[in-house]
Amino acid sequence: MTKESERVNVQITLVQDLGFKLNAGATVLDLGCGAGSIVKQYRRLGYEAFGCDFAFKTGPDVETLRSEGLIRLIERVPYRLPFADDSFDFVISDQVFEHVKNYDETLSEIRRVLKPDGVSLHFFPSRYTPIEPHVHVPLATIIQKRWWLANWALLGVRTPDQKGMSTREVTDANHVYLTGHTN
């Protein structure tokens, strides 16, 4: 079982345990879809799944999913999800809301694209998670001071993309990311 199939199974089970029946063929939106792997998994299971994001991550299926209109870019100004009103039975996001800058605007857009009897479910890391999931630095959800990040960079803590970077480069990159792209 792949990581994506496990995530989707957990999402479906949880939303059904909460009393919402997610029938085959239901419309699903993955908000913050990255490379579209979750969209692809929902489609494998028989759902009409779509995704959207500000930018797509690198992945083997991105161009195909994009050319078929299954993943779409979000308009920034005005902020608008690229789907019609009342389009989805289920909106899911996983590790997205810690990046949202305007909750009112985002929740309003989710409400707009959800069908009247639709449901949304959102997963995000706890502020008190021991290891910050994006930069891998312990307690960086709470302590984002440069000295803290520098100590961990000096000890060799890096993301896979940061291999080969100097301590200063890793410290700078983590500080910019945490203070500018998470909340």
Q: Which DSSP string do the residues of 140-172 spell out, in sequence order? A: TTT---HHHHHHHHHTT---GGGTT--HHHHHH
Measured distance CA(94)–CA(53) in Å, rounded: 12
Mark whether 143 and 172 lie in a shared domain.
Answer: yes
Mark whether 141 and 167 lie in a shared domain.
Answer: yes
- The angle, 0 to 180 degrees and rounded to 10, between the axes of the packed helices 37-44 and 3-17 is 70
pLDDT tens by residue, 134-169: 899 999 999 999 999 999 999 999 999 999 999 999
**What is the residue-averaged pLDDT of the chain?**
93
Measured distance CA(113)–CA(16) in Å, rounded: 20
Task: Check pLDDT > 80 for residue 133.
Answer: yes
Mark whether 94 and 183 lie in a shared domain.
Answer: no
- DSSP for 43-101, please give it: HHTT-EEEEEESSPPP-TTHHHHHHTTSEEEPBTTTTB-SS-TT-EEEEEEES-TTT-S
Read off the CATH number of the domain in which 61 is found. Answer: 3.40.50.150
Of 73, 99, 123, the last residue of a domain is 123
What is the reported pTM?
0.83
pLDDT reported for residue 98? 84
Mark whether 108 and 49 lie in a shared domain.
Answer: yes
Measured distance CA(132)–CA(137) in Å, rounded: 6
Q: Which amino acid is at 133?
A: P
Task: State which residues form the domain around 137.
Answer: 128-183
Query: Phi/psi of residue 50, each to 5°?
Result: -140, 165
Q: What is the number of structural domains in the chain?
A: 2
Measured distance CA(102)–CA(79) in Å, rounded: 10
Measured distance CA(118)–CA(136) in Å, rounded: 35
pLDDT category at 101 given cuts 50, 70, 90 is confident
Measured distance CA(161)–CA(175) in Å, rounded: 15
